Structure 1
Amino acid sequence: MKKLLVLSMLLITGNSTFAQSKKVVVAKLRPFIPKDYSVLAYETGDLNQDTYPDIVLALKNNQETDSDQTARPLLILLGKKGGGLSLYARNDSAVLCKGCGGVFGDPFEGITIKGRYFSLEYYGGSRYRWNRITTFKYDPVKKDFILHRDAGLSYDDTQHNKKYAKDVYHKEAFGKQRFVKYKYDTD
Structure 2
Amino acid sequence: MKYLFVLALFASGALRAAEFPANIVRLIPKGYEVLSYAVGQLNDDNLQDYLVVVHHPVDTRLQPSLRPLLIFTQNPDGTFRLATRNDTLVMRADEGGQCDPFTDSEDNGLAIKDRYFTVQHSVACGQHWTDYITFHYDEKRHDWLFHKEIVQSWHLNSDPGGDALELDPVHVTKANSKHPITFEAWRRDQ
Q: Does the pair score TM above 0.5? A: yes
Decide whether aligned partners of structure 1 residues 61 and 129 sit closer, same or farther in structure 2, where only a CA change above 3 A counts: same
Structure 2 residues without counterparts, runs of 5 or longer: 1-10, 103-107
Matched with 1:164 is: 167
Q: Is residue 2:82 matched to residue 1:87?
A: yes
Are 2:145 and 1:137 aligned? no
Q: What is the correspondence of 1:137-156 to structure 2 with a 5 Å cutoff? A: 137-156=136-155
Question: How far apart are 1:102 and its partner, in Å?
Answer: 1.2
The equivalences for 1:24-173 within 5 A come to: 24-103=19-98, 105-108=99-102, 109-124=108-123, 126-159=125-158, 160-161=162-163, 162-165=165-168, 166-172=170-176
Quote the RMSD (CA, aligned, Å).
2.6
In the superposition, relative to structure 1, how do residues 173 and 48 fare at CA in structure 2: closer, same or farther (>3 Å)?
Answer: closer
Q: What's the offset of the Cα at 1:151?
A: 0.5
**Native 8 Å contact 1:101 1:125 kept in 2:** no
8 Å Cα contact 1:124-1:130 kept in structure 2 = yes
- 1:24-44: per-residue Cα shift (whole Å, max 9, x none)? 415332112223211111111
CA distance in 2, matches of 1:158, 1:174: 41
Shift of 1:137: 0.4
Give the % identical residues: 28
Amino acid at match of 1:139: D
- 1:136 is paired with a residue whose SS is strand
Deviation at 1:17, TM superposition (A): 8.8
Amino acid at match of 1:72: R
SS in 1 for 2:152: strand
Preserved CA contact (<8 Å) 2:118 2:134:
yes
More helix by share: 1
5+ residue gaps, structure 1: 1-15
